[in-house]
Amino acid sequence: MDNSYMALLNVLSYPDPRLHKIAKPVATVDARVKKIVADMAETMYEAPGVGLAATQVDIHERIVVIDVSDDQNELMVFINPEIVWASPEKKTWREGCLSVPEFYDEVERPAQVKVKALDIDGKEFEVDADGLLAVCLQHELDHLQGKVFVEYLSLLKRNRISQKMKKRSKELLGQR
């Protein structure tokens, strides 16, 4: 992939209402979609993060990039991903999000999932995931449904995070 064409994308911050838009399926995996994937991957690595959904960069299509490897050199691309199976067993993980920087909290989710998606070449594949990959997939697929992880938290915590995020964005605007 030619990196000279890649660009960092702007990550939306909670409580931006655009984070609640539901993503539409990708019709064809073409050069436009591959460019989005490359830009999303660069944005995720730069952040640094382990996953990014197109919704977070104000692109409302079903595209997710994930890399849970220690060296951040195993990019996984999921186009039109869907969870086809989730384990009845649950597990709680401490989650964070590029759209909610510096906030982490416990979220309970199925411990394992099976996800069906298209890869960067438009070929269908399935992945059985557990551990961090399972959490990450569920977290990013939530974004495609317009849901941010803080929505699993109590209303009190959510409001507090929302207040702090609004205050932070005002401060950032003031610095410009």
Examine the residue annotation and report whether 140 is marked as an active-site residue of this protein: yes
User: Where do we find the tokens 């964005």?
Assistant: 169
Structure tokens at 79: 């186009």
User: Where do we find the tokens 């070449």?
Assistant: 121
Nearest of 59, 64, 52 to residue 116 by alpha carbon: 64
On whether 60 is known to bind a ligand per the annotation, the reply is: no
Residues 78 and 117 sit within 8 Å (Cβ to Cβ): yes
Which residues, at least 6 apart from 153, have a Cβ–Cβ distance to it below 8 Å?
A: 105, 107, 161
Q: Which helix (H) or strand (E) holds 161?
A: helix 155-175
List the catalytic residue out of 82, 95, 140, 151: 140
Q: How far apart are CA 78 and CA 61, in angstroms?
A: 11
Handedness of CA 162, 163, 168, 170 (dihedral sign): positive
Q: Which helix (H) or strand (E) holds 106?
A: strand 100-110
Active site residues: 140
Binding site residues for Fe cation, as ranges? 97, 139, 143
Residues annotated in the binding site, as ranges?
A: 97, 139, 143
